[in-house]
Chain A
Amino acid sequence: MSTRSARVLPGFSLSLGVTLLFVSLILLLPMTSLIGQLSTLSWSQYWAAITDPRLIASYKVTLLAALAASLFNALFGLLMAWVLARYTFPGKRILDALMDLPFALPTAVAGITLATLYSRNGAVGSLLDPLGIEIAYTWLGIALAMAFTSVPFVVRTVQPVLEDLPGHADEAALTLGASNLYAFRRVILPHIWPAIVTGTGLSFARSLGEFGAVIFIAGNMPYRTEVVSLMMATRLEEYDYAGAAAIASLVMLVSLLLLLAINLWQGRFYRRLHGGRH
């Protein structure tokens, strides 16, 4: 007798096979060729490729801008998710649909539009200029473009969790005399906290690699407003494939570690929430 138990749901081997094929074609194959490119470099060449001073300046710009963008998104995204999940008002569905616009819009279009709006003689930029605030062609502009393209990550991860808040928990807090802030901090925030962290983390990871929207508003001045993805593009234009691969491998490593950390932490949190049972 076979020890394999028969599956009731049909199509397991076919669907898993197709899935694995696509994962191989779309994810694993490009990564293999990336490693293939890296293998042409010695360790010292690799080290030199990723510690070029101009590149290090771009790390700083990218990290700073991505951090600012994702923190901004954590707050703004939470607010948007809150409004969409907790209230009903006319036009809510339109607002809900608009939230996905950054995903639907080509990032280059977003970049050009933002650059036009926020440049010194643009509609918004001309208002900020007298106050001494420059956005286009500074790291602020980069952060703005990153925030724009990655805000749906926070909204779309927090919104369902907020809608799914355990029935009346917040009302229960109010009947027990809690202030709005106390009820939010001790009852609502602990529930949506993992979603906020996940959304912010995804938004951060996406911002690290953002290219299309950023290059139009960044100005791309060496040592000041160049982002890592632009440096990769520059290497490619110089036919330095190995150099580009070296930078890419670093970005990928950081993103993977970030996702791993988020997942581990989230798993721990949910185990606690469900009392060790799933």
Chain B
Amino acid sequence: MSITVSDVSRRFGNTTALHPLSLEIKKGEMVGLLGPSGSGKTTLLRIIAGLEAPDSGSIHFGDRDVTHVHVRKRRVGFVFQHYALFRHMSVFENVAFGLRARPTSERPSNAEIRDRVQHLLERVRLDALAKRLPSQLSGGQQQRVALARALAVEPEVLLLDEPFGALDARVRLELRRWLRHLHEEFGFTSVFVTHDQEEALELSDRVVVMSNGKIEQIDTPQALYRAPANRFVFSFLGETNRFGGEYREGKLQQGNAWIAMAHSDIAPNEVLLRPHELMLTTAPDAKAHLPVTVDAVSPVGSDVRVELTADWMDTPWLASITHHDFDRLQPARGANFYLVPSRWHQFAPETS
């Protein structure tokens, strides 16, 4: 089922949660709504679900206009941020809820309900815990119950609000992979909200980056990362180092530091650099002169993260270098080096 959001807006009192925005989600697609808190992503998800009414605009599921359709008739599966399980019901009854809630004429027989719930619990590997209460489960298990409960009503649209926000890193990674498989197997259309860019980039077919109630960019994870549309998207998608200065004699200069570049019309006074686009050297390059002092070193993961300071920076920079370079240079706290940027990014100043 495709989802079409047209010119939807929403205000809460004096604050605008959503400026009029439109969004097209294809059948079977998995889309992540990514943004900082207060960007309107959860409001948009709740409007799609029907838990919130838009002030203007319309929502279509396929050809069906659902703008004024009550949430219980929209046939969406919704997974809440803190699962919202029914605490007084067993895992089995939680999952069976949507089937039992149907009017008598559409309700499956008890035997059929038992079979379907049992099958779903097997799918989420919780069949052994069917009789437990939610409070007796771990966070990851509760999350799987919440998913099974939402899937029991066979929704064509699955909406998830910060699905993995409250879980620890290892469980989160496992559940992400598992959700991806489930999505492919059942073939529903999924929209999820997250503030974690890594999660959005890993899970989504397309990512919708939002800020201040507006959509900043809609793209595939690869395109988004390679070609961010503006400064906000660039800085929200990963660690960012900023070099601000004045353009003189073919160089962007700040104190005794400079980067040589052709004059740029869009943002003459600023360039942004990712940590992995910086190289640590013992001598300055002909194209850049960026003296720095090592402040902290974190040799965890595939790269070594080095925190750098200098008096020409407003905030400390972060460079990620290979373990090979790390072994060669042995950067210790307090040691002096030069940075050589392999590339940089320029954006038009943010208009707010």
Q: Using CB atoms and an 8 Å cutoff, list the residues of chain A in contact with chain B.
A: 166-169, 171-179, 182-183, 186-187, 190-191, 272-277
Contacts and interface: CB of A to CB of B under 8 A. Distances in A.
A177 B82 contact: no
A64 B85 CA distance: 41
A91 B103 CA distance: 39
Contacts of A186: 86, 97, 101
15 contacts: A167-B80, A168-B81, A172-B85, A173-B86, A175-B71, A175-B150, A176-B72, A178-B72, A178-B97, A179-B101, A186-B86, A273-B87, A275-B134, A275-B136, A277-B135
Which among A175, A187, A272, A276 has the greatest number of chain B C-beta atoms within 10 A? A175
Contacts, number: 87
B84 interface: yes
A48 to B, nearest CB: 49
Given A175-B49, A178-B97, A277-B136, 8 more contacts: A169-B86, A171-B78, A172-B149, A174-B71, A175-B71, A175-B76, A176-B152, A177-B153
A178 B97 CA distance: 8
Contact of B84 (A172, A183, A190, A273): A172
B231 to A, nearest CB: 35
A36 B132 CA distance: 53
B51 interface: yes
Contacts of A178: 72, 97-98, 101
Chain B interface size, under 10 / 10 to 19 / 20 to 34 / 35 or more:
20 to 34
A175 B97 CA distance: 11
A177 B77 CA distance: 10
B30 to A, nearest CB: 19
B226 interface: no
What are the 8 A-B residue pairs with the smallest beta carbon separation, nearest first? A176-B98, A178-B101, A168-B84, A275-B135, A175-B78, A172-B84, A275-B133, A275-B136
A272 B88 contact: yes
Nearest to B74: A175
A201 to B, nearest CB: 20
Interface string B118-142: 0000000000000011111000000
Contacts of A275: 132-136
A190 to B, nearest CB: 5
A172 B80 contact: yes
A165 to B, nearest CB: 10
A275 B90 CA distance: 10
A234 B199 CA distance: 77
